[in-house]
Amino acid sequence: MPPERHLSDRDQYLLKILSITTVINYQQLKRIYGDKKHYHYRRSRQLQDRGLIILDGKHVRITGSGMKEATGKERVYYPKSSQYDHRVKLAEISMSLTNWEVYSSLEIKRRTSLNDSALINMYIENSGRGYAIYILARNPEASTITRIKNELDDLSFYGIQRAIVFCSYDNNYNSANKFGRFYRDTSLTELLLLPFPDQIKKTDTMVMLKYVNHMKKINAKIRNQFQEYQLSNRSFADFEKENEYITSLVFNDLIKKTQLFNYMQGAVKKEKKKTRILCLESQSKEYSLDFPEVEQTIIHPGKEKTYASNQ
């Protein structure tokens, strides 16, 4: 078979990402192939000639033939051009979370019998631990947030216990504040509210995606650093010993955060037990506002010594 007809590992990876998101942009295409003498451009032309993809301005779309090559199923649901940027963000998540199995919105709806109109954007899973993924627009309508929250509360009926909501945290539009810094009673066991600004190259965003990709390793390192503590059976804490609770909010779990808030409003006065939050430096200011009376330990997941300082 001529080289241009053979599908390389990178070709197959491209089709895999497109089978999940339908659309990527040219910057993501370059990252998949590398920018070696514009090879990505020549190769994408060859794949288009074979009918596997469509080059659409600054974007790349998958065809029915490309979808069949990637998944065995030919049908493609094309988004409107106004939704391309949203699909590019989904592709960024898919390409960043290399330690996770990623399922498209359509695939997870098929697997769980979620309604076709459900707003879930994708689903990720690692070693049996899965999260529904949602991305909020920079300035979402209140009705959209209400729909997402109602859907989140119903996910457990479909066997989904955890979710991640990506929001913008920039100065002009802060969809994280619109979503809320705490959460109501729900059947979910985890609800992570994480930054994903419009500018997908923003450093904080890419770092957080890296942390999510290595979530299991980071949690294990944190546990190793607190070996003298026992695992806590309290809903708001991860570890405890006789006179102290430790709560990790590195991944901004709104369920745990809300339970900690409720504890600080009541039972803490009876127990008189010290409470400490583990968080990233970028989270410290927000958590200081939410829990002014709680000590913080700043976590540096990328360094050999996971935690470094108290605030």
- What are residue 134's DSSP bridge partners? 165
CATH number for 1-79: choose from 2.60.40.1120, 3.40.50.300, 1.10.10.10, 2.70.98.90: 1.10.10.10
The full 3-state SS of 152-212, as one line of letters, equals HHHHHHHCCCEEEEEECCCCCCCHHHHHCCCCCCCCCCEEEEEECCCCCCCHHHHHHHHHH
User: What pLDDT score was predicted for residue 271?
Assistant: 76
CA angle 59, 60, 64 (to 5 degrees): 145
Write out the E strands in the chain.
Answer: 23-25, 53-56, 59-62, 101-104, 122-126, 129-135, 162-167, 190-195, 230-231, 239-241, 244-248, 274-279, 295-299, 307-310
pLDDT digits (tens, 9 = 90+) for 29-84: 999 998 777 888 899 999 999 999 999 999 999 999 999 999 999 889 999 999 99
Give me the residues of the chain with pLDDT under 70, please. Answer: 1-4, 170-173, 197-206, 267-269, 303-311
User: What pLDDT score was predicted for residue 1?
Assistant: 42
Assigned CATH for 97-213? 3.40.1560
Q: Report domain extents, the chain.
A: 1-79, 97-213, 216-310
